[in-house]
Structure 1
Amino acid sequence: MKKILITGGAGFVGSHLCERLAQDNECEVYSLDNYFTGNESNHVSNVKYIKGSTKDISSLVDFSPDIVFHLGEYSRVEQSFDDIEKVLEFNKIGTYAVLEFVRKHKCKLLYAGSSTKFGDSGENANASPYAWSKSTNTTLVKNYAEWFGIDYAITYFYNVYGPREIQSGKYATLIALFKEKMRNNEELTVVSPGTQVRNFTHVDDTIDALLLIGKYGHGDEYGIGSPECYTILEVAKMFGGKIKMLSERKGNRMLAEVIDDKTRGLGWKPKRRLEDFINECKIDNWEI
């Protein structure tokens, strides 16, 4: 049996990855999650769940995985200015511990980087504590490969959406937040100027890519992004609700280039469209 460890396995993307891998009878799937944004309601069958922080991975995980999918980091841009202690703990101390674990156990690492690194022609890499932590971690992963010979692949997510997104509170993601507001007949809040461009990628397409990269990918620049891009205002108009503009916020990039040639080279291509998903949500009264 191939042993697979997923950090952040009770979170949005991590739970979908757990679910897909757990369907493979040749895989033994484990999740390590501190439940900061993860939730037990995201648990799926045939996965062994370990509760704890990645900084304690060496004491919590007593086996040698074949691969570690490291998804369990702090992942919000604007909120990271207020949560810098969590950013440092989860994204720097925690990821260092994961790298040491991988080095000790000689297993492959798939690191989930952030497309904020490519925002505004690379000028966004240090624009927020979150962006800085993620962009410097990609450098650290590559250095570990050079220094210690670890096998790795680095992926980049582009505004993942779909079932199990966080729908409310300060850590809610855009599509889920708009769904929640439509369900509650509230105004859709858009941060000014509203012309920020995003490439929205369905979680199922993201998981398809992660599985391919985990199996065949080596090195950096495995972007996982839909080519369809929209401004935040365009997305709000797709939902059809009343729109309320909010003041500008620090760290908010305007553009991001999709770097996905290596991912497509593995045979991946996105199959789902944001507009179709929103229309399905409308039909189901915003419950998806």
Structure 2
Amino acid sequence: MKKKILVTGGAGFVGSNLCERLAKDDNNDVYSLDNYFTGSYENHVDNVTYIEGLTADIDKLIDFNPDIIYHLGEYSRVEQSFDDIEQVWKFNKDGIFAVLEFVRKTGAKIVYAGSSTKFGDGGLGRSASPYAWTKASNTELVQNYGAWFNIPYAITYFYNVYGNREIQTGKYATLIALFKDRMLKNEPLTIVKPGTQKRNFTHIDDIINGLVLVGENGYGDEFGIGSPEAYSILEIAEMFGKEIIMLPERKGNRMTADVISSKTEALGWKPTMVIKDYIEDLKKSKFEAI
């Protein structure tokens, strides 16, 4: 019998890559539930059934019992979350409650995508923004549902994902994709001060490798999926070799975050991609296109 897998946020950056990987296995029936807030129809891949709607309405929209739910479909921007607090609450708080109730009813395993902001600045980062707080408190609710109602769960934490299908432009653009877009347009790179804030940039393929392993064999909390190499935002910009413009500091911008990946590594995961090599490849591709 085929395994039914539901990916919330399956038309987004990470979700679409996960759907693509899962759908290559003939033993999986893969479904996506996405509200297309940052997801895109262009991210649709073959052999996936797409359902449009809010995770808060999951019980109305999903008429089958999944074996696994990868819950990636939440609001996922730090600085923007101050302006978008209504969407943050709707997508992250209303959504997690509905998903957990659905999990309780169906008996599915939930793999929850937490946020590494929870570990930022020695733990202070968990309340530094509406986004960070909702994600950190959601991990506690997942744990509590596991204890209260005996639901199977695993909680993962991503560290600054980059790669195929990143959002390149607009309010929700991710850093590496934004730098890539500005490089291709021969525009200066903009950095929020102080520029010394460090990030563990992790390639999407490594993230997906970790997610699949955790989905198959992981139970409990603290399945970090992150590169051990940390670089400051300024160091990353310098790798692109473009003019740099510094922007004023913004609220919620953590300086560091500890990578907690030992439990994921124990499942057989290890990072395979290096951000330096990725940026060099981008620069070569630009040069060859000229």
Q: Is TM > 0.5 for Structure 1 vs Structure 2?
A: yes
Aligned residue in 2 for 1:168: 169
Structure 2 CA distance for aligned equivalents of residues 95 and 285 of structure 1? 41
SS at match of 2:38: coil
What is the rounded CA distance, in whole Å, between the counterparts of 1:254 and 1:36 in structure 2?
Answer: 28
Distance in 2, matches of 1:20 and 1:168, equals 25
What is residue 152 of structure 1 aligned with on the other side? Answer: 153
Q: Structure 2 vs 1, CA of residues 7 and 242 (structure 1 numbering), >3 Å: closer, same or farther? A: same
* d(CA) in 2 for partners of 1:145, 1:217: 14
Structure 1 residues not aligned, in runs of 5+: none
Aligned counterpart, 1:138:
139
Instruction: Kindly indicate whether residue 109 of structure 2 is the aligned counterpart of residue 108 of structure 1.
Output: yes
Q: Per-residue displacement from partner, 1:112-165 (whole Å, max 9, x unpaired)?
A: 000000000001110000000000000000000111110000000000000100
Counterpart Cα distance in 2 of 1:144 and 1:182? 46
Post-superposition CA distance 1:64-107 (Å, at most 9, x none): 00000000000000000000000000000011100011000001
In 1: Cα distance, 2:44 partner to 2:215 partner: 21
Q: What is the letter of the counterpart of residue 238 of structure 2? A: K
Amino acid at match of 1:34: N
Which amino acid counterpart does residue 195 of structure 1 have in structure 2? T
- Cα deviation 1:230-266 (Å, max 9, x = unaligned): 0000000001110000000000000100001100000
1:246 maps to 2:247: yes
Secondary structure at 2:74 match in 1: coil
Paired letter, 1:95: I
Q: Percent identity?
A: 67
Partners of 1:183 and 1:229 in 2: how far apart?
A: 25
Inter-partner Cα distance in structure 2 for 1:220 and 1:107 = 17
Alignment of 1:211 with 2:206, yes or no, is no
Matches within 5 A, 1:250-261: 250-261=251-262
In 2: Cα distance, 1:281 partner to 1:227 partner = 22
Match of 1:195 in 2: 196
Letter in 2 for 1:184: K
1:284 aligns with 2:267: no
The Cα offsets for residues 26-73 of structure 1, whole Å up to 9 and x where unpaired, read as: 000000000000001000000000000100000000000000000000
Per-residue deviation, 1:185: 1.1
- In structure 2, how many angstroms separate the alpha carbons of the residues matched to 1:241 and 1:89? 39
Partner of 2:226: 225
Q: Which runs of 4+ in 1 moved over 3 A?
A: none
Q: Are positions 1:97 and 2:119 aligned together?
A: no
Write the distance in 2 (CA, Å) between the matches of 1:280 and 1:46: 30
Whether the 8 Å CA contact 1:180–1:286 is kept in 2: the answer is no
Alpha-carbon separation, structure 2, partners of 1:141 and 1:111: 8
**Secondary structure of the corresponding residue to residue 124 of structure 1:** helix
The number of aligned residues is 287
> How far is 1:286 from its partner?
8.6
Amino acid at match of 2:90: E
Q: Distance in 1 between matches of 2:42 and 2:249?
A: 34
Contact kept, 8 Å, 1:69 with 1:111, in 2: the verdict is yes
Q: Quick one: distance in 1 between partners of 2:41 and 2:177?
A: 18
Alpha-carbon distance between aligned partners in 2 of 1:286 and 1:224, rounded to the nearest angstrom: 32
Structure 2 letter corresponding to 1:153: A
Q: Secondary structure at the match of 1:125?
A: helix
**CA distance, structure 1, for counterparts of residue 226 and residue 179 of structure 2:** 21
Gaps of at least 5 residues in structure 2 are: none
SS at match of 2:32: strand
Matches of 1:96 and 1:126, distance apart in 2: 20
Cα distance, 1:184 vs structure 2? 1.1
Alignment of 1:80 onto 2:68: no
Normalised TM-score (structure 2) = 0.98
